[in-house]
Amino acid sequence: MTVPARLILVHKQGTSARTLFLRFKSGVVAPEPLPALAQVVDEGGAGDVVVHPAALFAQVAASLGLDAGDIELESDFSADVDTPGGIVPVYLGRMTTIDAPLEAAERVGARFIAITEARDLSPVELELLRRAYTCVME
Protein backbone atom coordinates (compact mmCIF):
# COMPACT_ATOMS: atom_id res chain seq x y z
CA MET A 1 0.00 0.00 0.00
CA THR A 2 1.43 3.35 -1.04
CA VAL A 3 0.93 6.13 1.47
CA PRO A 4 0.86 9.61 -0.09
CA ALA A 5 3.79 11.81 0.85
CA ARG A 6 3.26 15.25 2.34
CA LEU A 7 4.95 18.58 1.86
CA ILE A 8 5.73 21.53 4.13
CA LEU A 9 6.30 24.82 2.30
CA VAL A 10 8.71 27.47 3.51
CA HIS A 11 9.69 30.86 2.16
CA LYS A 12 12.93 32.48 3.30
CA GLN A 13 13.31 36.08 2.17
CA GLY A 14 16.69 36.52 0.53
CA THR A 15 17.64 39.88 1.99
CA SER A 16 16.12 39.75 5.45
CA ALA A 17 16.12 35.95 6.03
CA ARG A 18 12.55 36.23 7.33
CA THR A 19 11.29 32.65 7.38
CA LEU A 20 7.61 31.92 6.86
CA PHE A 21 5.70 28.65 6.59
CA LEU A 22 2.55 28.19 4.55
CA ARG A 23 -0.34 27.31 6.82
CA PHE A 24 -3.52 25.88 5.39
CA LYS A 25 -6.80 25.69 7.30
CA SER A 26 -5.94 22.11 8.28
CA GLY A 27 -2.31 22.73 9.23
CA VAL A 28 1.09 23.03 7.57
CA VAL A 29 1.26 19.84 5.53
CA ALA A 30 -0.04 19.58 1.98
CA PRO A 31 -1.86 18.38 0.01
CA GLU A 32 -3.89 16.92 2.87
CA PRO A 33 -3.54 16.83 6.66
CA LEU A 34 -1.91 13.98 8.49
CA PRO A 35 -4.33 11.48 10.01
CA ALA A 36 -5.09 11.25 13.70
CA LEU A 37 -2.65 9.16 15.74
CA ALA A 38 0.28 10.23 13.55
CA GLN A 39 3.69 10.33 15.20
CA VAL A 40 7.05 11.55 13.93
CA VAL A 41 9.47 8.66 13.54
CA ASP A 42 13.09 9.01 14.61
CA GLU A 43 15.64 9.17 11.79
CA GLY A 44 15.65 6.23 9.42
CA GLY A 45 12.04 5.16 9.94
CA ALA A 46 10.98 4.61 6.33
CA GLY A 47 13.79 2.35 5.21
CA ASP A 48 16.05 2.67 2.19
CA VAL A 49 13.52 3.25 -0.62
CA VAL A 50 12.91 6.92 -1.32
CA VAL A 51 10.50 8.21 -3.96
CA HIS A 52 11.37 11.56 -5.54
CA PRO A 53 8.65 14.09 -4.70
CA ALA A 54 8.51 15.87 -8.10
CA ALA A 55 4.87 14.91 -8.73
CA LEU A 56 3.90 16.05 -5.22
CA PHE A 57 5.64 19.39 -5.72
CA ALA A 58 3.92 19.88 -9.10
CA GLN A 59 0.51 19.01 -7.59
CA VAL A 60 0.88 21.44 -4.70
CA ALA A 61 2.28 24.20 -6.94
CA ALA A 62 -0.65 23.79 -9.35
CA SER A 63 -3.16 23.92 -6.49
CA LEU A 64 -1.65 27.28 -5.49
CA GLY A 65 -1.58 28.57 -9.06
CA LEU A 66 2.24 28.56 -9.11
CA ASP A 67 4.72 27.07 -11.55
CA ALA A 68 6.35 23.80 -10.50
CA GLY A 69 9.71 25.62 -10.54
CA ASP A 70 8.50 27.98 -7.82
CA ILE A 71 9.06 25.21 -5.26
CA GLU A 72 12.31 23.33 -4.90
CA LEU A 73 13.24 20.41 -2.71
CA GLU A 74 15.18 21.22 0.46
CA SER A 75 17.35 18.11 0.22
CA ASP A 76 18.79 18.42 3.73
CA PHE A 77 15.37 17.84 5.29
CA SER A 78 13.75 14.47 5.77
CA ALA A 79 11.08 13.30 8.12
CA ASP A 80 8.87 10.27 8.37
CA VAL A 81 5.54 10.10 10.13
CA ASP A 82 4.03 6.85 11.36
CA THR A 83 0.29 6.73 10.64
CA PRO A 84 -2.33 3.97 10.90
CA GLY A 85 -1.94 3.55 7.11
CA GLY A 86 1.85 3.29 7.14
CA ILE A 87 4.93 5.48 7.12
CA VAL A 88 4.39 8.85 5.40
CA PRO A 89 7.44 10.69 4.10
CA VAL A 90 7.36 14.45 4.65
CA TYR A 91 9.39 16.75 2.39
CA LEU A 92 10.31 20.39 2.74
CA GLY A 93 9.75 22.63 -0.26
CA ARG A 94 11.47 25.99 -0.41
CA MET A 95 9.55 28.60 -2.36
CA THR A 96 11.91 30.26 -4.84
CA THR A 97 9.92 33.44 -5.41
CA ILE A 98 11.54 36.69 -4.30
CA ASP A 99 8.62 37.46 -1.99
CA ALA A 100 6.24 35.00 -0.38
CA PRO A 101 3.29 34.45 -2.77
CA LEU A 102 0.72 35.92 -0.39
CA GLU A 103 -2.03 36.20 -3.02
CA ALA A 104 -1.64 32.56 -4.06
CA ALA A 105 -1.96 31.49 -0.43
CA GLU A 106 -5.00 33.70 0.11
CA ARG A 107 -6.76 32.21 -2.94
CA VAL A 108 -6.73 28.77 -1.30
CA GLY A 109 -7.57 30.00 2.20
CA ALA A 110 -4.00 29.70 3.48
CA ARG A 111 -1.55 32.19 4.91
CA PHE A 112 2.13 32.50 5.66
CA ILE A 113 3.10 32.35 9.33
CA ALA A 114 6.23 32.70 11.40
CA ILE A 115 7.08 29.65 13.49
CA THR A 116 5.98 31.58 16.59
CA GLU A 117 2.42 31.64 15.20
CA ALA A 118 2.21 27.84 15.10
CA ARG A 119 1.61 27.14 18.78
CA ASP A 120 -1.89 25.76 18.23
CA LEU A 121 -0.79 23.09 15.74
CA SER A 122 -0.72 19.42 16.67
CA PRO A 123 2.39 18.08 18.42
CA VAL A 124 3.32 16.20 15.22
CA GLU A 125 3.19 19.35 13.09
CA LEU A 126 5.08 21.34 15.72
CA GLU A 127 7.87 18.75 15.67
CA LEU A 128 7.94 18.79 11.86
CA LEU A 129 8.13 22.60 11.86
CA ARG A 130 10.90 22.53 14.45
CA ARG A 131 12.93 20.20 12.24
CA ALA A 132 12.16 22.24 9.12
CA TYR A 133 13.13 25.51 10.82
CA THR A 134 16.40 24.01 12.05
CA CYS A 135 17.18 22.79 8.54
CA VAL A 136 16.44 26.15 6.91
CA MET A 137 18.41 28.14 9.45
CA GLU A 138 21.55 25.98 9.33
List pLDDT tens digits, range 21-64.
999 999 999 999 999 899 999 865 555 556 678 889 999 999 99
Task: For residue 17, tell me if it sits in a domain.
Answer: yes
List pLDDT tens digits, range 91-133.
999 999 999 999 999 999 999 999 999 999 999 999 999 999 9
Q: Which structural domain, as residue segments, surrounds residue 21?
A: 6-137
Task: For residue 14, tell me if it sits in a domain.
Answer: yes
pTM value is 0.90
Q: What is the CATH number of the domain that holds 48?
A: 3.90.79
For the chain, the distance separating the N- and C-terminal CA atoms, rounded to the nearest angstrom, is 35
Q: What is the pLDDT of residue 44?
A: 56
How many domains, in total, are found in the chain? 1
Q: What is the DSSP string of the chain?
A: -PPPPEEEEEEE-TTT--EEEEEBTTBSEESSPPPTT-EEEPTT-S-S-----HHHHHHHHHHHT--GGGEEE-TT--EEEEETTEEEEEEEEEE-SSS--HHHHHHTT-EEE-GGG-TTS-HHHHHHHHHHHHHHH-
Q: What is the pLDDT of residue 49?
A: 58
Task: For residue 1, tell me if it sits in a domain.
Answer: no
Task: For residue 29, count other CB atoms closer than 10 A to its CB.
Answer: 27
Task: For residue 71, tell me if it sits in a domain.
Answer: yes
Task: For residue 10, tell me if it sits in a domain.
Answer: yes
